[in-house]
Amino acid sequence: MGEWPRRPWGLRLDRRRFLAASAATVLAACTSRNAANERPSTSTIPGRVDGPHLGDDPFGLGVASGDPRADGVTLWTRLAGDDLGPQRIPVAWELATDERFGRVVRHGTIDATADLGHAIHIDLDGLDPGSEFHYRFHTREHTSPTGRTRTAPARHERAPLRFAFASCQEYQEGWYTAYRDAAAGDLDLLVHLGDYIYEHGVHDDGVRRHEGGPVTTLDDYRRRYATYRSDPDLRAAHAACPWVITWDDHEVADNYTGLVAGALADPDPDPLAFARRRTAAYRAWYEHQPVRVAAPTGADLAIHRAVPWGSDVLLLALDTRQYRSEQTCSPIDIGPMCDEMRGGGPTVLGDAQHAWLERELDASAAMWNVLANQVLFAPMTFGPERSVQLDGWDGYPAARRRVTQFLDDHGVRNPVFITGDIHLSAVNDVRADVDDAASRVVATEFVGTSISSGSDAILAGFHDSIVEQNPHLRWIEHDHRGYVVCEAGPDAFTAEYRFVDDARDPESRVRTARRWAIEPGRPVAEA
Ligand code: FE
Ligand code: CA
């Protein structure tokens, strides 16, 4: 979501031409996942490791874990510093059941290599389900901060999930006070819905500055992630619990779709340049996130994935950017819907991901099926022309109908959308036919506000019109930054909106503004 008015038409790039170009220019080097390089520890004391002398502490970007499974979890760190150079650096890691590492249950050594920016991903398996662990890393002279993580409950176990969801954390526009609160919140899991970084240049009116102009190269994106991770509250939230992370547009460039750049967001109008840029951005995302996905070997990176949590929850992390077709009818991201959008062509998920989603939902026996979605799913019209955000699902009504009809026809059990992107809080009824107020409600959508990115002045300005035109909208609030804490258990799904009083004040209070609940079998949220 950006400002309007928007750009001229985005640029098209033929996929075949792109693949040919990217094969020649992009990352032909070996990119196998670090875990494959894992070798048995040569030391008897976990944590003792040989390797080069490093003057500076290489663990300034912190530690993280993610994508918990009943028998494992993925651990992450990335070494950083001026003295790393191109060398391989052995890193020892250990996982313990206690914070003091008296009971180490797994340990090993892995090489951090320059081709992955000295990032490390360790995919653990064979662990006990539903258990808490502590982990840390060592180089020859330095030890990382300690992270806390957990495995998911066993597949058939009744175990409620307490998780938070967050999105949109423009570094310059506010402090990460919401993350300080989340880090202390005793969460099982944190779900990030995208806009983890912003690619654009410096804002003069922010509370702090990141370096330089728009980021376009792998080195640029690496530096931008490193700036964001320099924030202690963000690092603390990563160290506090495992995350499940997907992406939105700003991890690459504002409002891109597939291989089509938004022209104003992209300083270089050459379509091949955008393809190279997306490749670099996806790679940097992989390097910096504790995700269990295969390391990118080229332009694409499949990240949609399922995270089951006992018998209560199936979390499905969607990718609404990579496979999306180009916006139709209008070059700008706000405007009225048009007939061309209603045809069967335009897609948000792409056919393969859509089929995957349907298979997962059909096979799911979970009490709650949570769709971790990026852009607004329910309709939201406003103004005299009944404009919508064309970058949301409103710009792809046929693709949306395919989802809602499936939820209805297949009787999917208690679907809940969690959504980011638009820097406001909202709760929506999602109907089987969103254009028919008489059709049944098949899901609730909880839209979470931004961690720090500023409120959208246009949507705030149309507040009365939004409320008047959208009877399925149960609540909307524009003025606060924050995040949402959810609990999904046998009796209810609750969503507690945690608001930061003032995200531009580093010491701001964080409080619960509103708490919503859904009962199983009745997908209508009540405050
Ligand atoms: Fe955003
Ligand atoms: Ca966005």
Q: What spacing in Å lies between the alpha carbon of 324 and ligand 1's midpoint?
A: 18
Q: What spacing in Å lies between the alpha carbon of 44 and ligand 1's midpoint?
A: 47
Q: Which residue has the higher pLDDT, 22 or 89?
A: 89
Q: What spacing in Å lies between the alpha carbon of 452 and ligand 2's midpoint?
A: 13
- The pLDDT score that the predictor gives to residue 228 is 98
Ligand positioned closest to the Cα atom of 247: 2
Q: What spacing in Å lies between the alpha carbon of 419 and ligand 1's midpoint?
A: 11
Q: What spacing in Å lies between the alpha carbon of 180 and ligand 1's midpoint?
A: 20
- The pLDDT score that the predictor gives to residue 263 is 53
- Residue 22 DSSP SS3: helix
What number is the average pLDDT over the span 283-305? 96
Q: What spacing in Å lies between the alpha carbon of 36 and ligand 1's midpoint?
A: 35
pLDDT at 137 > cutoff 50 = yes
Q: What spacing in Å lies between the alpha carbon of 478 and ligand 1's midpoint?
A: 13
| Burial 269-296, CB ≥16 within 10 A → b, else e | eebbbbbbbbbbbbbbbbbbbbbbbebb
What is the full DSSP assignment across 352-412?
HHHHHHHHHHHH---SEEEEE-SS--S---BTTTTEEETTSGGG-HHHHHHHHHHHHHTT-
Amino acid letter for position 405: Q
Banded pLDDT at 119 (limits 50, 70, 90): very high
Q: What spacing in Å lies between the alpha carbon of 338 and ligand 1's midpoint?
A: 25
* Residue pair 326/10 in contact by the 8 Å Cβ criterion: yes
Q: What spacing in Å lies between the alpha carbon of 281 and ligand 2's midpoint?
A: 15
Q: Which residue has the higher pLDDT, 37 or 385?
A: 385
- The pLDDT score that the predictor gives to residue 269 is 67
- The pLDDT score that the predictor gives to residue 21 is 40
* Residue pair 299/278 in contact by the 8 Å Cβ criterion: yes
pLDDT at 440 > cutoff 80 = yes
Render pLDDT for 157-211 as a digit per residue (tens, 0 to 9): 999 999 999 999 999 999 999 999 999 999 999 999 999 999 999 988 899 999 8
Ligand positioned closest to the Cα atom of 373: 2
Rg for the chain, CA atoms, rounded: 22
- The pLDDT score that the predictor gives to residue 17 is 45
What is the full DSSP assignment across 177-234?
HHHHHHHTS--SEEEE-S-SS--S---TTSSS--SSS---SHHHHHHHHHHHHT-HHH
- The pLDDT score that the predictor gives to residue 471 is 96
Q: Which residue has the higher pLDDT, 443 or 260?
A: 443
Ligand positioned closest to the Cα atom of 166: 1
Banded pLDDT at 328 (limits 50, 70, 90): confident
Q: What spacing in Å lies between the alpha carbon of 374 and ligand 2's midpoint?
A: 7
d(CA 475, CA 291): 33
Q: What spacing in Å lies between the alpha carbon of 455 and ligand 1's midpoint?
A: 9
Percent helix / strand / coil, the chain, rounded to 5 = 20, 25, 55
Banded pLDDT at 345 (limits 50, 70, 90): confident
Q: What spacing in Å lies between the alpha carbon of 168 and ligand 1's midpoint?
A: 4
Ligand positioned closest to the Cα atom of 481: 1
- The pLDDT score that the predictor gives to residue 351 is 96
Ligand positioned closest to the Cα atom of 374: 2
* Residue pair 436/429 in contact by the 8 Å Cβ criterion: no
Residues 6+ apart with CB under 8 A from 358: 406, 410
- Residue 427 DSSP SS3: strand
What number is the average pLDDT over the span 55-62? 95
Q: What spacing in Å lies between the alpha carbon of 265 and ligand 2's midpoint?
A: 12
Q: What spacing in Å lies between the alpha carbon of 429 and ligand 2's midpoint?
A: 22
d(CA 312, CA 445): 18
Range of lowest pLDDT (141-155, 339-353, 381-395): 339-353
Ligand positioned closest to the Cα atom of 333: 2
Ligand positioned closest to the Cα atom of 251: 2
Q: Which two tokens stand for residue 514?
A: 């509103």
Q: What spacing in Å lies between the alpha carbon of 117 and ligand 2's midpoint?
A: 26
pLDDT at 3 > cutoff 60 = no
Q: What spacing in Å lies between the alpha carbon of 310 and ligand 1's midpoint?
A: 31
Identify any residues that bridge with 380 across adjacent strands, giving them in sequence order.
none
Banded pLDDT at 111 (limits 50, 70, 90): very high
- The pLDDT score that the predictor gives to residue 519 is 97
Identify any residues that bridge with 257 across adjacent strands, giving them in sequence order.
260
Q: What spacing in Å lies between the alpha carbon of 250 and ligand 2's midpoint?
A: 6
Q: What spacing in Å lies between the alpha carbon of 195 and ligand 1's midpoint?
A: 5
Banded pLDDT at 239 (limits 50, 70, 90): very high
Pairing of strands 313-317, 368-372: parallel
Q: What spacing in Å lies between the alpha carbon of 205 and ligand 1's midpoint?
A: 17
Q: What spacing in Å lies between the alpha carbon of 167 and ligand 1's midpoint?
A: 7
Banded pLDDT at 44 (limits 50, 70, 90): very low
Q: Which two tokens stand for residue 217?
A: 């190269």
- The pLDDT score that the predictor gives to residue 339 is 86
- The pLDDT score that the predictor gives to residue 240 is 98
Q: What spacing in Å lies between the alpha carbon of 198 and ligand 1's midpoint?
A: 8
Ligand positioned closest to the Cα atom of 452: 1
For all residues of the chain together, what is the average pLDDT? 90
Ligand positioned closest to the Cα atom of 169: 1
Banded pLDDT at 6 (limits 50, 70, 90): very low
Ligand positioned closest to the Cα atom of 389: 2
Banded pLDDT at 441 (limits 50, 70, 90): very high
Ligand positioned closest to the Cα atom of 250: 2
What number is the average pLDDT over the span 55-78? 97
Q: Which residue has the higher pLDDT, 82 or 400?
A: 400
CA 76 to chain centre: 16
pLDDT at 435 > cutoff 80 = yes
d(CA 484, CA 445): 12
Ligand positioned closest to the Cα atom of 249: 2
pLDDT above 70 as % of the chain: 90
Q: What spacing in Å lies between the alpha carbon of 198 and ligand 2's midpoint?
A: 9
Q: What spacing in Å lies between the alpha carbon of 40 and ligand 1's midpoint?
A: 42
Q: What spacing in Å lies between the alpha carbon of 73 and ligand 1's midpoint?
A: 28
- The pLDDT score that the predictor gives to residue 39 is 41
- The pLDDT score that the predictor gives to residue 18 is 42
* Residue pair 379/394 in contact by the 8 Å Cβ criterion: yes
